[in-house]
């Protein structure tokens, strides 16, 4: 699911890409209205909670409130990494940053959910540029691709971002 607004020219501005298990539109807890749309790229199951019930749970259950704060902090770190990634100049730098910041294990393995066009949008690239970059990185032995999985072709340095 992605959280989108539309710009003055009608262009879609993606504010958040929610993955399975993540929350969407949590900022609406402090708003009377929320000016975004949730759009499903793939078949999705969404759990909806009543705002008053959720706020009461936060107030009455300290363990839940701590878990909620930890989840929000993790999502904030992901959002900041996305901003950092979008500031990078080359497509290759953006792909590498994505693997280093969101991939798992020593080879930064990442399952690409959705289409490569969706990934290009997340990276702020045209899909043509992403396709060329992935092909070049694979040919140069920088990355490996297997189905929907993408990873570094060899272990990265231990000082990488986590």
Q: Tens-of-pLDDT digits for all 162 residues of the chain?
A: 888 898 889 888 888 888 778 888 888 888 887 788 988 878 889 888 899 999 999 999 999 999 999 989 988 898 899 899 999 999 999 999 999 999 999 999 999 988 899 899 889 999 999 999 999 999 999 999 999 999 999 765 544 554
Q: Does domain 91-162 have CATH number 1.10.10.10?
A: yes
Every domain of the chain and the residues it spans: 1-47, 49-87, 91-162
DSSP structure string for 65-100? HHHHHHHHHHHHHHHHHHHHHHT-SSHHHHHHHHHH
Backbone dihedral angles phi then psi of residue 62, each to the nearest 5 degrees: -60, -35
Identify the pLDDT of residue 1.
Answer: 86
Backbone dihedral angles phi then psi of residue 16, each to the nearest 5 degrees: -160, 140
Identify the pLDDT of residue 162.
Answer: 44
For residue 22 the two structure tokens come to 């993540």
The neighbour count for residue 1, using CB atoms within 10 Å, is 18
Nearest of 96, 88, 71 to residue 19 by alpha carbon: 71
Q: How far apart are CA 20 and CA 12, in angstroms?
A: 22
Element (H, E) at 54: helix 51-60
Identify the pLDDT of residue 115.
Answer: 87
């Amino acid at each position: 699911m992605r959280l989108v607004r539309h710009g003055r020219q009608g262009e879609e501005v993606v504010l958040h890409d929610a993955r399975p298990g993540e929350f969407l539109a949590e900022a609406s807890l402090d708003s009377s209205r929320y000016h975004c749309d949730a759009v499903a790229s793939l078949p999705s199951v969404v759990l909806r909670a009543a705002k008053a019930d959720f706020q009461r749970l936060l107030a009455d259950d300290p363990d839940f409130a701590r878990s909620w704060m930890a989840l929000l902090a993790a999502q904030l770190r992901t959002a900041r990494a996305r901003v950092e990634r979008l500031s990078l100049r080359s497509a290759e730098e953006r792909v590498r940053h994505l693997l280093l910041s969101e991939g798992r294990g020593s080879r930064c393995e990442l399952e690409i959910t959705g289409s490569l066009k969706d990934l290009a949008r997340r990276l702020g690239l045209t899909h043509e540029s992403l396709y060329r970059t992935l092909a070049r990185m694979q040919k140069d032995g920088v990355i490996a691709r297997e189905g929907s999985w993408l990873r570094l072709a060899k272990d990265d340095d231990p000082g990488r971002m986590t």
